Chains A and B, each alone.
Chain A
Amino acid sequence: MKEINLFGVYFSPFVAVLALALIIFFALRVWLDRIEVQKWFWHRSLFDAAVFVIILSVIGLMF
């Protein structure tokens, strides 16, 4: 992956992966909230953290 050039400032591609993962995660979280996923999991915050890591890793592996 190439570095991202933003007006002459170079950013690590990980920043883009992180941003994309955050967007997907927040969209997914709205749906998870509505189906009340916390009823099936002991610790919702840990579950959210795990979901975010999975999304981040999948995107990282895809590119």
Chain B
Amino acid sequence: METGMSPGMSWLATSWREVLSLLQFRFMPEKKREALAFAIRGWVASMLAMYLAFYLELDEPYWAPLTVWIVLQPTPGMSISKAFYRIVGTIIGSFMGVVLICFFVQTPELFIAALALWVGACTMVSNLLRNFRAYGAVMAGFTAAIVASGAIERPNEIIQIALARCAATLIGIACATIITAIFAKHEARTRVRMLLAKAIGDTIRRSALPVTATTAERLALGKPLIDELIALDAEIDYAAAESAGVRIHEDCARSLVAHLFQAIAARRSLEEELPRGGTSADPEVAQLLDSTLQFFRNAPELMAADQWLTLQQQMEELRRKIEKAMPEERVSDFRPAASSRMVLDRLDELLEHLARAISDWQLLLGGWKWSPSLSLNFHRDRRRAVINGLRAAIAVGVAGAFWIASAWSMGPSLLIWVSVGASFFASAPQPDRLGNLFLNLVMVACVAAFIVNYFVLPGTSAFPILAFAYGLVLVPATVLLYNARNPIPIMAFCANFIALSQPVNAMTYDTAAFLNNAMALYLGCGAGVLSYSLFMPADPRVARRYVVYRIRLGLERISRLEPIPSFDVWQTRMFDRINRLHDPANPSGWPTDEWFNGGLAALGLGTEVLRLRHLLTEARLASRTAGLIRTVLQSFREITARPDVARKSVRHALTELERNVPEGREEKLSWFRVRGILEKMESFFADHPTFLTGRTEMI
């Protein structure tokens, strides 16, 4: 190739490119390169934190590098998000540690009881929160244990100990965050945009499925789509922490996801209605349905060509046509007319939510602009939260009792590690499995720390050599354990390796102390992990029964609460519940798909309850129709205690409604709507007779 360069210059440029590609580890596969970069970032941040902690002469400086490995995440957004909640957790935990020592230093029994209650309460709160907020709550629990246990034998120094631990933690967080923010790739904005565009495309593809699509075809598209939308909440959280471009559009991105959830709910409702009522009675409705589905089939092409405006115009055009259609005035029979009304309403809703999602998408691509936000809501498993809290409290209490009875010198350390073991994995789906992996890696870390402490460190005198020695262990271990989705193995090994080797300014090489410390760590974590199997182990059947109970409770609340809860609150929370019902490790007698379908149908039922409430307050209704709606809503208010009453009440209301057809045009339109809603409710009870009863044989 003719470049116009002299041979010497060309050789220099080629060599420079080769050196650069070597420096960027281009010879390695992409995955390994990512792992190596992560390992080097972690090592540099932890050594920087250790150097600063030494320089500031902090008490027990190893807490700073240890913290680095606890907060280290592969992307800047995740790192910043985790760091923020860890700072909050550490400050609250340190304060509580001081309070515990101030009040209970003279009475160890009360101290243990209070610490157990605090760790239990924090574990419970962490189970009710999501993403790294949950992590912040766990941190508040065991930081109190770290501070209080460190000061129990020298209570006069509690403030200094709390400040030193706090300072070491903050140094660790600052180093991990700064190194990750500067040296890791900033891809969150691109990634979140890509995921949102994919979610819009997938929702449109899901909406374009023909009416005759089989359940298997629907589920093949629907299930991954729901998982994708639920995971987007965390992605938006992390991207907002990393990128200013996402931060200003955070609400908008959540609103987009909520509209997609609502669009799926509308499409699902349409699918339930079509086989029941059909559209054959009204050719206009059938044609509108066909042209809407045709539009969805063509939409991906327009999206690929970035023709969002054309998409929106076509949607508006379709909505105008739907608004003008009046099947009630042409068809004399009630049943097909009510069904046609239902189909048109759901089509309109589907188009409306997709149009709103697309306008949110366009806002996302532009600069900052105020936009109203729709929130995403998630299921809170209160039952599991209480059990996990109770379990952590009991584990800490038992460990404390063992310490008092045995007077073991490493008792305070044992307390710290039991708190970590019993609370850290509580919110994971299979805490015992994760805990066992953690324990195995702790054992490996013990061996590695022993070798480094007794065979490598005695020969070192300067910090760079110490840092190099640590790098020899930390970097290869991190590369081996690297998994972008699950950093717990890395944390288990690296944080415990530092906790065990305990680098301090003047190293002491006391083998008995090392083994005592290692035993306290292993026994503490082991006792915490063992508690998951010993005390009320997670039972997927009970968990599922509880989700169904919460669905009933949700139905009761949406039929009662004032002001009327919004559709997005109910629907986004229900999608999370459906995700939980759809458990791949399904031990029940029912196939997983039936759980999925039952959950989706219950979502539709709740949406119809909300529609009835809106009709009652906003539409012009004949007095008899309004009375029947009130009776049905009343029966839903009792659905938690008496699930069968709602079914009977809906049947009764349908029979009564057919006997009382109103005269006026507006009243008649509302009547058709109410009839369609009640028919849908009735079909829910017919298709899923045992879903809401929560009887054990069905679960």
Contacts and interface: CB of A to CB of B under 8 A. Distances in A.
A40 B182 CA distance: 17
Contacts of B245: 36, 38
Interface string A33-52: 11111100001111001000
Interface in B548-584: none
A27 interface: no
Nearest to B76: A45
Interface string B198-217: 00000000000000000000
A34 B698 CA distance: 53
Given A9-B159, A45-B76, A37 B182 contact: no
Nearest to B159: A9
B22 interface: no
Contact of B182 (A9, A33, A35, A46): A46
A44 B178 contact: no
Nearest to B247: A33
Given A33-B368, A36-B367, A36-B368, A44 B244 contact: yes
Interface in A1-35: 9, 29, 32-35
Nearest to A12: B163
B181 interface: yes
Contact of B244 (A9, A37, A49): A37
A44 B246 CA distance: 13
Nearest to A29: B244
Contacts of B538: none
B76 A33 contact: no
Contact of B248 (A33, A45, A49): A33
A38 B182 contact: no
Interface string B67-81: 000000000100000
B247 A49 contact: no
A33 B159 contact: no
B179 to A, nearest CB: 11
Interface string B366-392: 011000000000000000000000000
Contact of A45 (B159, B181, B368): B181
B159 A49 contact: no
Nearest to B242: A45
| B159, B244, B248, B367, most chain A CB atoms within 10 A | B244
B159 A36 contact: no
B368 A34 contact: yes
Nearest to B180: A45
Interface in B243-261: 243-245, 247-248
B248 A43 contact: no
Interface in B146-205: 159, 178, 181-182, 186
Nearest to B370: A34
A44 B367 CA distance: 16
Contacts of A44: 186, 243-244
Given A9-B159, A36-B367, A36-B368, A45 B247 contact: no
A25 B6 CA distance: 52
B244 A43 contact: no
Interface string B229-271: 0000000000000011101100000000000000000000000
Contacts of A9: 159
A35 B244 CA distance: 10
B178 A34 contact: no
Contacts of B159: 9
Contacts of B244: 29, 32-33, 36-38, 44
Given A33-B244, A38-B244, A44-B244, A49 B368 contact: no
A43 B76 CA distance: 13
A29 to B, nearest CB: 8
Nearest to A36: B367
Given A9-B159, A37-B244, A49 B367 contact: no
A14 B692 CA distance: 59
B41 to A, nearest CB: 14
A55 to B, nearest CB: 16
Nearest to B240: A33
A49 B181 CA distance: 10
Interface of A: 9, 29, 32-38, 43-46, 49
Interface of B: 76, 159, 178, 181-182, 186, 243-245, 247-248, 367-368
14 contacts: A29-B244, A33-B368, A34-B368, A35-B368, A36-B244, A36-B245, A36-B248, A36-B367, A36-B368, A37-B244, A38-B244, A45-B186, A49-B178, A49-B181
Given A32-B244, A33-B247, A33-B248, 6 more contacts: A35-B368, A38-B245, A43-B182, A44-B244, A45-B182, A46-B182
For the complex of A and B, 7 pairs with smallest distance between CB atoms? A34-B368, A45-B181, A33-B244, A33-B248, A38-B244, A33-B247, A9-B159
